Structure 1
Amino acid sequence: MLTRAITGFFFIVVLIGALLLGEVVFTVFFSLVGLGALYEFYGIVRSEENKPLSVLGLISAIVLSALIGWHCIGNMPFKYVWLFIPTFSIIFICSLYQKRRLPFNDIGYTLLGIIYACIPFLFFVALGFITGAFNPYIPLGFLIILWSNDTGAYLAGRSFGRTKLFERISPNKTWEGFVGGVLLAIVVSLNLEQYFGTLQRWEWMCVAVIIGVFGTLGDLVESMLKRSLGVKDSGNILPGHGGLLDRFDGLLMAAPLVFLFLLMVR
């Protein structure tokens, strides 16, 4: 428990520091976290039948991350982001020469890893630039709401939890915990406009609902992934907390949807 608490404290300090140290640190740090999550994904899905093309997948993700970062920081025209497409084509072509029995299993897991584990972090990076210039308070608010949702779900579930939310995938989650998490996320979001500005109060509240609902679903999806593969944690980079996928499971589904919502309303 002490190890978990210490790791959690420094984990939060590092994340907040990366957010507040400027656009370059923010972009590079969370792009690297996405690459780390992708590396974990390839590690846990690898088996005799499924061997993702990890090197090519990571190279493709690096190219995509670099192009997105260049677009955000350097104002590179968005059309150049599509230059990552040739790296995806190489994944298919290389599979022709590997003589594997189920090559499309390998291709599928390679591409799924990029979509599931890496691209959501690029949407999170894009949240920092959605107003046109770098603004760390939107992604910071996102993380605060996400942590509030987790805290509310834990406290409400522990105190009032009776009705299982999705017992087949996560036996400990309850509807009471889910509702408690969303409510605390909304309460916290109502105060962010006062301290962070940038978004209107109703926008922060909508962001909280999206994070509360889809953050929980993201947690369940990651649990489904681990259960289907027979693993307890996605990695061990964070002592007492598991891997990067374990810590950012709520972000994986929520970040793209929050970005889409803010893109539509602003």
Structure 2
Amino acid sequence: MPKPKNSAGRNLPQAIGVGVFLALLVIGALITGPRGWYPLVAAAIGVAMWEVLTRLREKGYVVPRTVLLLIGQAMVWVSWPYGTEGLLFVFTIGVLLLMFGRLFHLGAATAPKNYLRDTAVGVFVLAWIPLFGAFAAMISLLSTWDVSGSLFILTFMLCVVASDTGGYFAGVMFGSHPMAPAVSPKKSWEGFGGSALFGIITGALCLQFLLQHEWWLGVILGLTLVVCATLGDLVESQFKRELGIKDMSHLLPGHGGIMDRLDGMLPAAAVTWLLLSLVGA
């Protein structure tokens, strides 16, 4: 075996223990379908939003944390009975509340400070976390006459795990060409190649044997998911770089915060729902 070129960058025993715990939670939610999956996604979205909004407030951004947390939860839960129409409706209400609320934050007689900055970052958070997260929740609502929603969730999670595993292994063992050194120095093209290889293979196998569909759609799913997950990682890296922080929180030993685990998964969930909607409805 070749010697690793790079350090893992974290406490592996802690990370593995926490990873096993999270995997058990996901497995429990998988078994029960939407009734278990929706609460798990909603809880993760709520904690991730709290982490991000708290870090923003610590750095001087004026964001209505409680209002945004409530709007985020409403976006996730309304997607169960009303789908994308309900999701878009609540998201629009949230944007309007941000635009108008910040306008009169200091009263009608005083001009708001940093209006564009704070309004824009609030809309960004709503799109980044609960909007993408709602698509992750809605994957559980996909089904066909012989394939349950749980198998659609399993397909998504297996592709995510494969992408993370392939990227981690290839990055640690072979990573030497930085992908975006100005944003994330540890992200390498070798790691991306490992993610793509594992993601494509897993996507093809899942579509063929779990969802009873053409394998080539799984290839598209695997590659698209990896691209979105990688870019999602870079987005969070730049977000933390601008705030001058390493992790969103220390809630998960060896991993950082909940958002540090969801950064790539959230945009990947949106494209996964879109592609898998071609299979189940």
Please, what TM-score do these two structures have when normalized by structure 1? 0.88
Deviation per CA, 1:64-105: give whole Å up to 9, x if none. 222112235xxxxx6555552444433333324322422332
Contact conserved, 2:59 with 2:243, CA < 8 A, in 1?
Answer: no
Please show how residues 245-256 of structure 1 align to structure 2 within 5 Å. 245-256=259-270
Contact conserved, 2:72 with 2:126, CA < 8 A, in 1?
Answer: yes
Q: CA deviation at 1:148?
A: 0.9
Aligned residues: 261
1:26 pairs with 2:40: no
Distance 1:60 1:132 in 2: 31
**CA distance 1:199–1:230, change in 2 (3 Å):** farther
Q: CA deviation at 1:199?
A: 3.6
1:116 pairs with 2:158: no
Tell me which amino acid in the other structure corresponds to 1:254. Answer: A
1:209 pairs with 2:223: yes
Give 2:101's match in structure 1, choosing from 90, 94, 117: 94
Q: CA deviation at 1:158?
A: 2.2
**CA distance 1:160–1:150, change in 2 (3 Å):** same
Contact conserved, 1:26 with 1:125, CA < 8 A, in 2?
Answer: yes
Contact conserved, 1:127 with 1:138, CA < 8 A, in 2?
Answer: yes
Contact conserved, 1:57 with 1:111, CA < 8 A, in 2?
Answer: no
1:152 pairs with 2:166: yes
Contact conserved, 1:49 with 1:102, CA < 8 A, in 2?
Answer: no
Give 1:128's match in structure 2, choosing from 137, 140, 146: 140
Gaps of 5+ in 2: 1-10, 107-111
Please show how residues 1-266 of structure 1 align to structure 2 within 5 Å. 1=11, 2-47=13-58, 49-71=60-82, 79-81=85-87, 83-84=89-90, 85-99=92-106, 100-131=112-143, 135-193=149-207, 195-263=209-277
Distance 2:263 2:179 in 1: 17
Structure 1 runs of 4+ with >4 Å offset: 78-83
Q: CA deviation at 1:111?
A: 1.8
Gaps of 5+ in 1: 73-77
Contact conserved, 2:140 with 2:150, CA < 8 A, in 1?
Answer: yes
> Structure 1 vs Structure 2: percent identity of aligned residues?
26
**In terms of mean alpha carbon deviation, does 108-117 or 254-263 score higher?**
254-263
Q: CA deviation at 1:197?
A: 2.4
Distance 2:81 2:137 in 1: 12
**CA distance 1:246–1:184, change in 2 (3 Å):** same
Distance 1:55 1:109 in 2: 15
Distance 2:172 2:27 in 1: 28
